Amino acid sequence: MISIKKLRRSFGPIIAVDGVSFDVEKGQVLGFLGPNGAGKSTVMRMLACFLRPDSGTATVCGYDILKNPADVRRSIGYLAENVPAYSEMTVGSLLNFVCDVRQIAGKDRKRALDRIVPMCAIESVYHQTIETLSKGYRRRVGLAQALIHDPDVLILDEPTDGLDPNQKHEVRTLIGKMAKDKCIVVSTHVLEEVEAVCSRTIIIARGKILVDSTPEALREKYKCSLDEVFRKITKSKVA
């Protein structure tokens, strides 16, 4: 459902993403790992059609990110790293705005809101303005706006960052539940999360893919925990 071909993007002299290619199929949860500044968010932003690649392209649900960006955005749910939102809006009005844009109206809207608000556990803050929310609630609102149209492809940039252990567990369970009939790309620094929810792992550093495997295969190959595997790979291959 996602097919990336030789994506490349630089910011001035810094090459953020350097010829990254991979495919993700329906039913897969891809854990996107890498040290800070590795290019994870840049790849995700290009998939969400927010950034244009310098070269290369990608297709999401059959739509090309360069030729049909509007169709791509319609088919994905995207949660950005710093959870952008309009701070003066209430949670309810933000979700209604997203429904307006995504053409979810009438009964469908009510159904979508009834499903998503308890699912992300944001009932208690529904009428609060976003600027008054804690980091964890903000992220949950971000998740809610990404999931409200029940997209086939989910791109989540550090979805559990800032959440307490209970909330982290809930988000992981949520991702696990949706995994069967969706294609999910999750970037994270929390390696236990990869073990808990991901069926595949890609480790990226300095814009290049270092490893494309499954968490189990990695553990078996290196005979140590995923933490150590991550350190070994990113330090030895980058240095």
User: Which residues of this chain interact with another protein, rule CB under 8 A?
Assistant: 45, 48-51, 69-71, 73-74, 78, 80, 82, 84-89, 93, 97-98, 100-103, 145
Instruction: For residue 3, give the 3-state DSSP assignment.
Output: strand
Q: Please identify, using beta-carbon distances, which residue of 207 and 215 lies nearer to another protein.
A: 207
Q: Please identify, using beta-carbon distances, which residue of 101 and 238 lies nearer to another protein.
A: 101
Q: Please identify, using beta-carbon distances, which residue of 40 and 200 lies nearer to another protein.
A: 40
| Contacts (Cβ under 8 Å, ≥6 apart) of 236 | none
Task: Give the nearest distance from C-beta 190 to another protein in angstroms.
Answer: 22
Which one, of 29, 31, 49, 53, lies nearest residue 40 by Cα?
31
Which one, of 187, 162, 161, lies nearest residue 78 by Cα?
187
Task: Give the nearest distance from C-beta 26 to another protein in angstroms.
Answer: 21
Task: Give the nearest distance from C-beta 179 to another protein in angstroms.
Answer: 22
In terms of phi and psi (left: phi > 0; alpha: psi -120 to 50; beta: otherwise), the region of 183 is beta
Q: Please identify, using beta-carbon distances, which residue of 182 and 200 lies nearer to another protein.
A: 182
**What are the helix (H) ranges across the chain?**
40-47, 69-75, 91-101, 106-119, 135-147, 165-178, 191-197, 215-222, 226-238
Task: Give the nearest distance from C-beta 213 to another protein in angstroms.
Answer: 29
Task: Give the nearest distance from C-beta 232 to another protein in angstroms.
Answer: 33
- Alpha-carbon distance 208 to 175, whole Å? 26
Q: Please identify, using beta-carbon distances, which residue of 60 and 211 lies nearer to another protein.
A: 60
Structural tokens at position 175: 């991702």
Task: Give the nearest distance from C-beta 73 to another protein in angstroms.
Answer: 4
β-strand pairing of 14-24 with 153-157: unpaired
Q: Please identify, using beta-carbon distances, which residue of 41 and 201 lies nearer to another protein.
A: 41
